[in-house]
């Protein structure tokens, strides 16, 4: 490998002089070995990422290339050989929280992240640790993370590794040593902003967005100077409450277009309106523009957010801006006046599709956002080309000729709950989609997770961290009718869909056992790789969906896999540890206990025969530790408070997936004083369980305890939970 040092070109000038017969300087020998100069480590630049297809042995940027197709030209691992794929090495990320990282591989070094924004540099062929960077996060910020304290990966450029830290910092590390070069705070840290997405780097600018729209922030995308960490431009996605210029790249388009789509009052004025850019950011080199996906409204419910009822630009939109200046070029809004947390932050893939009559290609952007429609839009103008639902949806009947959804009348819910598809977890979430340009197929990690939406009548009286205006207690009750959990489980579906974006229809579909599976990798070996929640890592035939190979990775695996080559050997990597929003809220989806979440990097090669060590997770005795207590009114009040304040982390209906403690089995729930110390006293704040003293009175907190214990006793009585020891 040449990545450590290279010799500089030596002595050419003196040799040339000698050949011309110039007088020799006897004191100096002709060949002076030039001093060894330090080759720039990880010398990645825009040209190199643009030419990623020519260096398929590397995985240079989050989506594999600037078009973010996640399609690798490598083909040593292919439909014939894949049966010999086995584990080459594993690396323990030492976390049980969610892992969503796609590794970057440059010159034989892998850069990967895990929960709490920790960065690891590993020898890509062996998994040997080179360095680890802990960003030193105050873990109480975990309360701001809507969907676990995850991180989706780094960017590597000009000898540096860039990571967005969960508390809103953007950091540049020395790629060789992991030492911190610069660190910039990109958000107002007094607000509940987080960063979970991977930065991208284009022409010396690091692009980074943020999250927090569940809790109330104003979204934007920023470009920082890659060398210095200084802000170059910022594009806000929502106007400021005064609708005045921010002295930002977005000023002109707000004045022209976006300000008028917002009313002058409503909760957005306080809450920032949302529209966070928390995942997809794509560089379109043809238009020299950045195309990015914008998130949901804050609060979700437009009736509260903006009673004027406008489209609320640029919520739930795909937006294109000039790469150099950040100035607006075009937008396409997938969900006007978002009301349901239908983000348009999902994977954006650029491709040249043969859409013309004579097979002429058109450069398009494709997205399968949460709202359930697969969109093909013109990459140069944002013009809508086509869109069809890729899963069953109930909120709209279709799209009009401009791509605007035709909503069903009940979709904008009132106080009576409506069960709707998709729910807030979306028909597709952050799990990366891939695109095979030879087959012209997009591979969508799709899901059906319905949600009961209802207007939250307590919106103004009972501020919660998650004050979305949509009632999280809808459908919850202290004593649920028998069969409720079975019915919920039956409604949850996950699948891998090979979608033909030209015909706008599925070519093939694989049904999974669970909703919420992993991201996808496509390869020229004719394969599609996907991790599954139950712990299987699978290779399918890209053309037919036939399952060709699978390996038990002993943990839920949700991230996007990557492939690379070192010394002629092709490797395939997936990071495991499922975490994230679904892991936290959807424990009730798993009757037999949940798949373990074990943070690991697992790398495969042909003929690999390493064993993945068992997780050795602690056993939790699934029995109530305290008495069932409390009046009917008290438990009913506890139901509502739990749904509003606790369910997003400890699981809906008080059933946790195990990533965070299942409060039903907690010994702390047995004792009022210990409970109060944790819930209102903040005794575990340094581990991410902050005090709820501002939101909850002692009486309300005690009502939650009564509700939790009621659920514990109900579960054992109905044998919903096994009473034996289970991991």
Q: Which stretch binds ligand HEC (CB under 6 A): 175-183, 326-334, 643-651, 714-722?
A: 643-651
Is 415 in contact with 389 (CB distance < 8 Å)? no
Q: Shortest distance, CB of residue 426 to ligand HEC, whole angstroms?
A: 20
- Residue 601 binding ligand HEC, by CB under 6 A: no
Q: Shortest distance, CB of residue 694 to ligand HEC, whole angstroms?
A: 11
> Please, what's the largest Cα pairwise distance for the chain?
106
- Residue 646 binding ligand HEC, by CB under 6 A: yes
Q: Shortest distance, CB of residue 662 to ligand HEC, whole angstroms?
A: 8
Token pair of 343, please? 């983000």
Q: Shortest distance, CB of residue 431 to ligand HEC, whole angstroms?
A: 22
> 243-302: which residues touch ligand HEC (CB under 6 A)?
none
Q: How many residues does the chain have?
A: 727
Instruction: Please select the residue that binds ligand HEC; options are 119, 663, 706, 712, rule is CB under 6 A.
Output: 663
Is 70 in contact with 444 (CB distance < 8 Å)? no
Q: Which stretch binds ligand HEC (CB under 6 A): 155-163, 290-298, 303-311, 659-667?
A: 659-667
Q: Which stretch binds ligand HEC (CB under 6 A): 286-294, 489-497, 568-576, 685-693?
A: 685-693
- Residue 666 binding ligand HEC, by CB under 6 A: yes
Token pair of 144, please? 């701001």
Is 375 in contact with 291 (CB distance < 8 Å)? no
- Residue 173 binding ligand HEC, by CB under 6 A: no
- Residue 622 binding ligand HEC, by CB under 6 A: no
CA distances from 345 to 275, 358, 416 (A): 9, 33, 29
Q: Which stretch binds ligand HEC (CB under 6 A): 377-385, 408-416, 533-541, 678-686?
A: 678-686
Residue 537 CA to residue 507 CA, distance in Å, equals: 22
Residue 254 CA to residue 258 CA, distance in Å, equals: 4
Instruction: Please select the residue that binds ligand HEC; options are 77, 104, 660, 721, rule is CB under 6 A.
Output: 660
Burial of 651 (0-12, 13-18, 19+ CB in 10 A): buried
Instruction: Count CB atoms within 10 A of the CB of residue 694.
Output: 9
- Residue 142 binding ligand HEC, by CB under 6 A: yes
- Residue 661 binding ligand HEC, by CB under 6 A: yes
- Least Cα distance to 171 among 100, 129, 113, 95 occurs for 113
- Of 579 and 688, which has the nearer Cβ to ligand HEC? 688
Q: How far is CA 63 from the centre of its chain?
A: 12
- Least Cα distance to 303 among 216, 395, 413, 404 occurs for 413
Is 551 in contact with 84 (CB distance < 8 Å)? no
- Of 293 and 651, which has the nearer Cβ to ligand HEC? 651
Q: Shortest distance, CB of residue 139 to ligand HEC, whole angstroms?
A: 8
> 693-722: which residues touch ligand HEC (CB under 6 A)?
704
Q: Shortest distance, CB of residue 339 to ligand HEC, whole angstroms?
A: 23
Residue 721 CA to residue 704 CA, distance in Å, equals: 20
Instruction: Please select the residue that binds ligand HEC; options are 370, 507, 532, 645, rule is CB under 6 A.
Output: 645
Residue 355 CA to residue 361 CA, distance in Å, equals: 6
Q: Please work out the total of residues on this chain that contact ligand HEC, with binding judged by CB under 6 A.
A: 21
- Least Cα distance to 195 among 268, 279, 136 occurs for 279
Token pair of 662, please? 């299942």
- Least Cα distance to 403 among 385, 423, 425 occurs for 385
Instruction: Please select the residue that binds ligand HEC; options are 111, 120, 430, 692, rule is CB under 6 A.
Output: 692
- Residue 648 binding ligand HEC, by CB under 6 A: yes
Instruction: Please select the residue that binds ligand HEC; options are 217, 555, 688, 709, rule is CB under 6 A.
Output: 688
- Of 342 and 675, which has the nearer Cβ to ligand HEC? 675
Is 520 in contact with 537 (CB distance < 8 Å)? no
Q: Which stretch binds ligand HEC (CB under 6 A): 301-309, 570-578, 675-683, 713-721?
A: 675-683
- Residue 166 binding ligand HEC, by CB under 6 A: no
- Of 511 and 699, which has the nearer Cβ to ligand HEC? 699
Residue 716 CA to residue 726 CA, distance in Å, equals: 14
- Least Cα distance to 653 among 468, 459, 487, 478 occurs for 478
Q: Shortest distance, CB of residue 154 to ligand HEC, whole angstroms?
A: 24
Contact set with ligand HEC (CB under 6 A): 142-143, 645-646, 648-650, 660-661, 663, 666, 668, 675, 678-679, 684, 687-689, 692, 704
């Amino acid at each position: 490998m040449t990545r450590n040092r290279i010799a500089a070109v030596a002595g050419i000038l003196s040799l040339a002089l000698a050949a011309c017969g110039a007088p020799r300087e006897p004191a100096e020998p002709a060949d002076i070995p030039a001093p060894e100069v330090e080759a720039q480590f990880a010398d990645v630049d825009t040209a190199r990422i643009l030419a990623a297809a020519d260096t398929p042995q590397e995985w240079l940027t989050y989506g594999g290339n600037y078009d973010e197709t996640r399609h690798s030209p490598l083909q040593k691992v292919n439909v014939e050989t894949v049966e010999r794929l086995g584990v080459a090495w594993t690396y323990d990320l030492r976390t049980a929280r969610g892992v969503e990282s796609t590794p970057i591989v440059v010159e034989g070094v892998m850069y990967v992240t895990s929960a709490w924004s920790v960065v690891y540099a590993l020898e890509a062929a062996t998994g040997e640790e080179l360095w680890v960077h802990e960003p030193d996060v105050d873990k109480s910020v975990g309360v701001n993370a809507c969907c676990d304290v995850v991180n989706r990966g780094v960017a590597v450029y000009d000898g540096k590794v860039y990571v967005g830290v969960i508390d809103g910092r953007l950091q540049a590390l020395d790629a060789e040593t992991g030492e911190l070069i610069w660190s910039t705070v990109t958000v107002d840290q007094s607000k509940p902003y987080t960063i979970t997405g991977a930065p991208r780097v284009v022409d010396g600018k690091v692009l980074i967005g943020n999250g927090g729209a569940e809790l109330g922030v104003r979204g934007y995308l920023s470009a920082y100077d890659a060398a210095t960490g200084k802000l170059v431009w910022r594009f806000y996605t929502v106007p400021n409450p005064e609708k005045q210029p921010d002295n930002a790249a977005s000023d002109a388009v707000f004045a022209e277009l976006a300000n008028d789509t917002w009313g002058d009052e409503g909760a957005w004025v306080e809450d920032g309106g949302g529209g966070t850019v928390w995942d997809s950011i794509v560089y379109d080199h043809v238009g020299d523009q950045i195309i990015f996906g914008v998130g949901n409204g804050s609060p979700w419910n437009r009736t509260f957010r903006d009673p004027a009822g406008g489209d609320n630009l640029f919520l739930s939109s795909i937006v294109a801006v000039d790469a150099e200046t950040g100035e607006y070029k075009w937008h396409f809004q997938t969900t006007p006046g978002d009301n349901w947390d239908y983000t348009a932050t999902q994977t954006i893939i650029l491709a040249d599709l043969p859409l013309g009559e004579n097979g002429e290609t058109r450069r398009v952007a494709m997205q399968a956002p949460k709202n359930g429609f697969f969109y093909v839009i013109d990459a140069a103008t944002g013009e809508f080309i086509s869109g069809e639902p890729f899963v069953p949806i109930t909120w709209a009947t279709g799209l009009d000729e401009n791509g605007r959804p035709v909503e069903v009348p009940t979709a904008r819910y009132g106080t009576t709950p409506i069960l709707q598809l998709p729910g807030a977890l979306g028909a597709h979430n952050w799990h990366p989609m891939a695109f095979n340009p030879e087959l012209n197929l997009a591979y969508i990690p799709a899901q059906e997770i319905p949600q009961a939406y209802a207007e939250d009548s307590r919106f103004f009286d009972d501020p919660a961290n998650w004050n979305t205006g949509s009632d999280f207690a809808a459908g919850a009750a202290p004593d649920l009718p028998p069969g409720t959990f079975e019915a919920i489980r039956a409604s949850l579906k996950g699948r891998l869909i090979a979608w033909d974006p030209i015909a706008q229809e599925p070519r093939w579909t694989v049904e999974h056992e669970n909703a919420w599976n992993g991201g996808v990798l496509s390869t020229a070996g004719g394969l599609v790789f996907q991790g599954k929640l139950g712990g299987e890592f699978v290779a399918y035939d890209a053309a037919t969906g036939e399952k060709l190979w699978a390996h038990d990775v002993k943990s839920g695996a949700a991230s996007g896999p990557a492939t690379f080559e070192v010394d002629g050997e092709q490797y395939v990597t997936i990071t495991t540890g499922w975490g994230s929003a679904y892991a936290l809220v959807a424990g009730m989806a798993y009757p037999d206990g949940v798949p373990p979440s074990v943070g690991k990097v697992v790398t495969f090669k042909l003929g690999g025969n390493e064993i993945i060590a068992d997780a050795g997770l602690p056993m939790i005795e699934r029995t109530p530790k305290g008495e069932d207590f409390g009046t009917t009114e008290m438990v009913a009040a506890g139901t509502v408070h739990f749904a509003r304040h606790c369910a997003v982390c400890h699981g809906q209906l008080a059933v946790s997936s195990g990533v965070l403690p299942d409060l039903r089995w907690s010994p702390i729930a047995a004792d009022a004083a210990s409970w109060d110390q944790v819930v209102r006293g903040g005794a575990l704040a340094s581990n991410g369980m902050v005090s709820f003293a501002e939101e909850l009175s002692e009486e309300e907190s005690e009502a939650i305890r009564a509700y939790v214990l009621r659920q514990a006793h109900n579960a054992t009585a109905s044998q919903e939970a096994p009473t034996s020891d289970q991991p």
